A and B are shown apart, each in its own frame.
Chain A
Amino acid sequence: MTDVLEYLVAALSGGGIYALLTIGLALLFSVMGLMNFAYGELIMTGGFAMYLLRDAPWPLMIVGVLVAVVAVALLTERLAFRPLRGASPLTLLIAAFAVSIMLQNAARMTVGPRAKGVRPWLEETISIGGVGVQLLDLVTIAVALALIGGLVLLLRRTALGVQLRAAAEDFEMASLLGVKANRVIASAFAITGVLGAVAALMLILKQGSVSVTVGSVPLLIAFVGAVVGGMGSLVGAALGGFVLGAVTAVLDAALPGELAPFRDAFVFGLVIVMLATRPQGLVPAPEARV
C-alpha cells in the first residue's frame, strides 16, 4: 500500500513536469512546424541560472530563472528561427540541433564543463497517511496543475490565446486575417520559456546538480511524449508527456536493477513503434503537419 502511494506521487510529479515540457514542444510545432531540439538547453539555462543565483533569496532566484530562460528562448527565436520561418519542419529540426550545440558550448565556455551543485530546497519529507512523501513532489504536482490551468485560461479566454490557437491550426489563414505572425510566435516562445523555466526548477531541485548536458534526457523524453501524444495537438502532447513522465518515474523506482539502465532503450523503442504504426500520435491534430 505504501508503495502504491509512493509510486503514485512519483508518477504524478514526473508526469506533471513532462506534460509541461511536451506542451511547450507541441505549441511550437503546431504554430510553426518547429520541433525544438534546443528545448533541453532551456532547461540547462534555467539550471545554470539557479546555480549562479544560488546565494540569492528564493523569490529572486525564481524570478531570475524565469527571466533567463524566457530571454534565451526569445533570443533563439529572433536570431535563429525567425529567419527560417516558412522553412520545412526538417530544416527547422536541423537548425534547432545547431542552436542546441551552440547553447551547450556557450555554457561550456562560460560556466564550465563540470557539474555544479544547486542549493536544495523542499527536501523535507512529510507524512501522508503514514507514508513519507517528498514535499518537492507535492509542490511539483501543484505547480504543474496551476501552470496547465493558467495556460488553458490563456488559450481560451484571452485574445492572444485565440490568435495562438488559430495560428496553430492554420497559420497562413490567421496571418491573412491580420494576426501578427511575429507576436504570435514570440508569445509561443515566451510561453515555452516559462514552462521550461518551471520544469527546470523542479527537475534540477530534484537532481541536486546541473551540468551542460542536463537538458538532454528531459528533451528526449519530452520529444517522445510529444510524438506519442500527437505532435500537432496540445491536449495530445500533454497526455503523451504525462504518460511518459509517469511511466519513466515509475520505472525508475520499480525496475529491477538489471533492466534499469535499459529504461531509455525501452522508451525510445516505444516511440519507434508508435511512429511506425500510428504516426499521427494518440490524439491527432486537426491538420496533420509533416
Chain B
Amino acid sequence: MLAVKDLRARYGPIEALQGTSLEVREGELVGLVGHNGVGKSTTLKAIAGVLRPSGGTIEWLGAPLRGGAAATIRAGIAYVPEDRRIFAGLTVEENLRLGATTRTDADAVAADIERELERFPPLRKLLTRRAGNLSGGEQQMLAISRALLSRPRLLLLDEPTLGLAPIIIDTLFETIARLRDEGVTVLLVEQNVAKTVRIADRLYVMAPGGRIERSGPAAELERSPEFRAGYLSLAPAHERKAVTP
C-alpha cells in the first residue's frame, strides 16, 4: 500500500533522514520504533505531507504521493501528530467535524461521529465541552477520532501514548490493535517498544539518520535475543517486562 524508498529530509543543514526505506501492506499494523531523535517523526511528517523531502520517493497505492497535507488526506492517509494538536478553543464536536473537512458526504459524517463515540465512550458526554479542558488521555482519543473522521485507509500515529498514564496507555494500545482488526492500516511510531511489539504485525527499528537497522515480523523480533537485549530488558521470553528504552 505504502512504499517509502530511500527517503531523505533536512532541517536546515541537518540531514534528519539519510535514506529511509519501509513499506506498509494493507491491513497491517506496522510499528516504527527507535531511540529519541532518530527520525521517526520526521518520516511520518514526510509521508503526511507536512515536510517536503529532499530526496527519495513515497508511493501510495502504486502511484507517487504528491501534493500537501490536504491532498494526502483526500488520498486516504490521516495523520495524528505528536502532541495531538487538537483545537483547544473549539468544542469536541467541532474538532471532530473538522476531521471531516475534506469529505463531501454530510450524512455519513454524522454516522461516523456516532461510531467514534462508541469507540471512545468518554467522548460522548464531552461533546460540547471545550477541547482545551480535556485531560491528556481524552485529548488523545479526540485526536485519533478526528483523524478517523476522514475515513482513512492508512493512519499515521506519532507517539500517541506520550505523557499519558499507564492505565490509559494500555487501553490505547488495545484500541489501536482493534483499529487494525477493523481494517484500518496503521503505521505506529512509538518509544514504548514492548507494548508496540505485542500488537504490531511487523516492526521497523530505526537508527540515527533514519536508517532502518532491522525489520521483520514482530513475533520473530520479539523472540530474537539481540533485539531483546537492545530494546527490551534482558529477561527471557516468558518473563517480559515493559521497559521503555
Contacts and interface: CB of A to CB of B under 8 A. Distances in A.
Interface of A: 159, 162-163, 165-166, 169-170, 172-180, 286
B150 interface: yes
Contacts of A174: 87, 98
A169 B98 contact: no
Interface string B64-104: 00001110011000010100010111100010011101100
9 A-B pairs with the lowest CB-CB distances in the bound complex, closest first: A178-B102, A178-B70, A178-B101, A176-B69, A173-B85, A166-B87, A178-B73, A162-B94, A169-B87
A127 B87 CA distance: 49
A213 B22 CA distance: 61
Interface in B185-217: none
Contacts of B48: 176
Contact of A169 (B69, B79, B89): B89
Given A176-B79, A286-B132, A166 B98 contact: yes
A165 B69 contact: no
Contact of B88 (A175, A177, A286): A286
Nearest to A179: B101
Q: Which of B81, B85, B94, B101 has the most CB of A within 10 A?
A: B101
A162 B85 contact: no
Contact of A170 (B73, B85, B101): B85
B46 to A, nearest CB: 13
A29 B97 CA distance: 25
B88 A169 contact: yes
A173 B97 contact: no
Contacts of B98: 162-163, 166, 174, 177, 179
B146 interface: yes
Contacts, number: 61
B50 interface: yes
Nearest to A159: B97
B152 to A, nearest CB: 12
B101 A173 contact: no
A285 B68 CA distance: 28
A166 B85 contact: no
A173 B88 CA distance: 12
Given A165-B90, A166-B98, A178 B74 contact: yes
Contact of A163 (B70, B74, B101): B101
Given A166-B94, A176-B49, 6 more contacts: A159-B97, A163-B98, A175-B69, A176-B69, A177-B70, A179-B98
Contacts of B69: 175-178
Contact of A173 (B68, B70, B81, B94): B81
Nearest to B71: A178
Contacts of A166: 87, 90, 94, 98
B1 to A, nearest CB: 21
A284 to B, nearest CB: 12
A163 B97 CA distance: 10
A165 B94 CA distance: 10
A204 to B, nearest CB: 35
A193 to B, nearest CB: 24
Contact of B89 (A165, A175, A179, A180): A165
20 contacts: A162-B90, A162-B98, A163-B101, A165-B87, A166-B90, A166-B94, A169-B87, A169-B90, A173-B81, A174-B98, A176-B69, A176-B79, A177-B73, A177-B150, A178-B101, A178-B150, A179-B98, A179-B101, A180-B70, A286-B89
B68 A170 contact: no
Nearest to A173: B85
B74 A162 contact: no
A177 to B, nearest CB: 5
Contacts of B94: 162, 165-166
